[in-house]
Amino acid sequence: MTQEIIVTGAAGFIGSHLVKFLLNNHFSVIGIDNFSDYYSKKIKKFNLSPFLKSERFKFFEFDLSKPGLEKNIRKADIIIHLAAQPGVRGSWGDSFNIYVKDNILALQKLLEWSVQNKIDKFIFASSSSVYGDTDTLPMDENKSIPVPVSPYGSTKLMGENLCRIYHQNFSLEYYCLRFFSVYGPAQRPDMAFSKLFRAALTGTEFNLFGDGKQTRDFTYIDDIIHGISRTLDLKEKNTVYLILAAGPEFQ
């Protein structure tokens, strides 16, 4: 029997790559996206366009922070929750209201729906931002203590805690996957790789922050999709994983 998987944030960078992978591997997919104005809706619709003719793909434009999800979707086997308001710098000031709505309230409503509809597994896209300015490198899920230093990172850590307490109180099976900065085809236009390539192609300047000596690890999109796919059949349940690179095992 074909498993039916809900992918939230399906029109986004990671979401559209994940939908492609799932459809290619014979899953049925229900995509959800609210087409937020963080970047162009035109880009997101383009991301979705290859899947709209598939009989195993259904799409709903819906804001998960609002009631009414049950009117459109009544059952699924697994939820992969990618939808969120991204960005560390943008999470300060009055914009924090958006992060609370999209990263906390939306998740809580989706967890409630999952319990009521007896979802088999809930996979939550968290972030390396939960660690903040850690001195422990490489980071370790079991040793590195999450101490976020941004409102965005705080909302992601709150999301992990929501998943944990819904497991403790309602036995909802969950995985929290901490993504590092992801790059690859169809990347968000606000990310560094997109800006670098756009500057190179157009001959315009690239704004460099700091002294240029900073280092940072990035994760290729295929590695992220590999990591997510592994959670579909992992035996260890209700835990947190870092996703850093592809391979037969992932950290």
Q: Give the DSSP letter string of 105-161.
A: IHHHHHHHHHHHTT-SEEEEEEEGGGS-S---SS--TTTSPP---SHHHHHHHHHHH
Residues recognised as catalytic: 152
11 within 8 A of 35, measured Cβ to Cβ: yes
Q: Give the helix/strand (H/E) hosting 49.
A: none
| Model pLDDT, residue 250 | 42
| Model pLDDT, residue 19 | 98
Q: Which pair of tokens denotes residue 243?
A: 């996703």
CA dist list (Å): 226 to 8, 32, 211, 235, 239: 18, 21, 34, 16, 17
Q: Give the helix/strand (H/E) hosting 221.
A: helix 221-230
**Of residues 18, 87, 80, 69, the one with CA closest to residue 48:** 18
14 within 8 A of 125, measured Cβ to Cβ: yes
**Domain coordinates of the chain in residue numbers?**
4-184+218-243
| Model pLDDT, residue 166 | 98
Mean pLDDT by 10 residues, the chain (251 residues): 92 97 97 92 95 96 94 91 93 95 97 96 96 80 87 97 98 95 86 82 85 81 95 88 60 41
What is the spatial distance between Cα 83 and Cα 194, in angstroms, rounded to a whole number?
20
| Model pLDDT, residue 92 | 95
Q: Give the helix/strand (H/E) hosting 169.
A: helix 151-170
**Of residues 233, 218, 221, 47, the one with CA closest to residue 123:** 233
What is the spatial distance between Cα 123 and Cα 190, in angstroms, rounded to a whole number?
25
Q: Which amino acid is at 146?
A: P
Question: In terms of C-beta density within 10 A (0-12 exposed, 13-18 middle, 19 or more buried), how is residue 109 classed?
Answer: middle
| Model pLDDT, residue 249 | 43
Q: Which pair of tokens denotes residue 62?
A: 């819906």
What is the spatial distance between Cα 92 and Cα 247, in angstroms, rounded to a whole number?
36
Q: Give the helix/strand (H/E) hosting 230.
A: helix 221-230
| Model pLDDT, residue 15 | 97
186 within 8 A of 17, measured Cβ to Cβ: yes
Supply the CATH classification number for the domain 4-184+218-243: 3.40.50.720
| Model pLDDT, residue 245 | 58
| Model pLDDT, residue 179 | 93
